[in-house]
Amino acid sequence: MAESQAERMVTLILGAGFSKWAANLPVARDLFDFAIEPFGVREEKKLYSVRELKISWDLVHPTDPAEAFIDFAMRQNHEMSQLVVWYVVRRLSDPYIWKEWHAGKWRRHVLMLDEHRKDERPGVQEARAFLVGVLGPLLQGVITTNYDLLIEYALGTQGFNYGIPGEPLVGRGAYPVSTWLHPVVLTGLVPLAKVHGSVSWDASVHYTDGRRGLTGNALILAPVQGKTAPAELAGQWLLAANLLDRAERIVVFGFAFNEYDAELLNHFRAHGAEAKSVLLIDIKPNLVAARRMWPAASIATLQPSAEFEGDIRKWLRRSA
């Protein structure tokens, strides 16, 4: 019985297209829309600097992708490199920032993973309906390249872990509870491998909120050509490998199989050989890349739509 259940489990791979579908967060080509509400003069100056560099770049490289601009900007100098990373994580965090007037001035924070206010923000309920409502107990684990906290908001601290069940996070609990009285611990059973980092991490700490999305000092692997994962993400890559080694059914949602992700694609290829059934959910499914990745698997495609959850359930029944 246990073996039969294991065969029905699903490993989920999520790319930027998932967050675009659920929350309308930008994919790479839309990232530099500068749809950020700046908080004070300092952020206005940062936005101005990044915008001016992007305008100059576009005049000379009007058709080049956003990844090329990021690569260019990060090679300018340390200050510009930091500014671009700040912009990327700040843009993805913007819909989840809470502002309030307290003690005579405006204050802000990125929503904590368990705050009830998160359900009012873009994509959280949609992501939960997919992760819990559609996949539910079949979900063996999640691998994502996304920096945002949409998965964490959808599942809550009782629904996932970063590879270590019972891991304590740093930071406060759900507003306004003190973390010193009630430490926040990841008690969920679904492993979440964030192979490109997170707006809630820095080089040494996993936080209870996306505070590094405000400061820019986040542990992320920027989308540039020839990127290599830092040592701080080695545990996440190992977790992804463990999930793929056991994966017989894989759902891939909004993952573009970009060539500049060569290291990650090789990682997937090395550890996903056991996959028998793969479902690609994407506006433009990359069947060629998927067949190279999983040559022995049966591969189906599906476009995200208002009715596609029923189609996913049909695939789950057929591939069981």
List, in order, residues 6 or more apart from 91 with CB less than 8 Å away.
Answer: 26, 31, 33, 34, 35, 36
**Are 43 and 37 in contact, with CB atoms under 8 Å apart?**
no
Q: What pLDDT digit, counting tens, does each position of 3-59 carry? A: 344 447 999 999 999 999 999 999 999 999 999 999 999 999 999 999 999 999 999
pLDDT at position 105: 76
pLDDT at position 183: 84
Please name which of 157, 159, 196 lies closest in space to residue 173, comparing C-alpha atoms.
Answer: 157
pLDDT < 70 stretches in the chain = 1-7, 175-180
How far is CA 48 from its chain centroid? 26
pLDDT at position 260: 84
Domain 2-25+113-319 CATH class label: alpha beta
Phi and psi angles of residue 158, each rounded to the nearest 5 degrees, phi first? -90, 5
| Residue located via tokens 């080695």 | 234
Q: Can you give the residue ranges of every domain in the chain? A: 2-25+113-319
List b or e across 304-315, with b for residues whose CB sees 16 or more CB atoms inside 10 angstroms: beeebeebbeeb
pLDDT at position 6: 43
240/224 Cα distance (integer angstroms): 21
Which pTM value belongs to this model? 0.94
Residue 249's DSSP bridge partners are 277
pLDDT at position 304: 93
pLDDT at position 5: 44
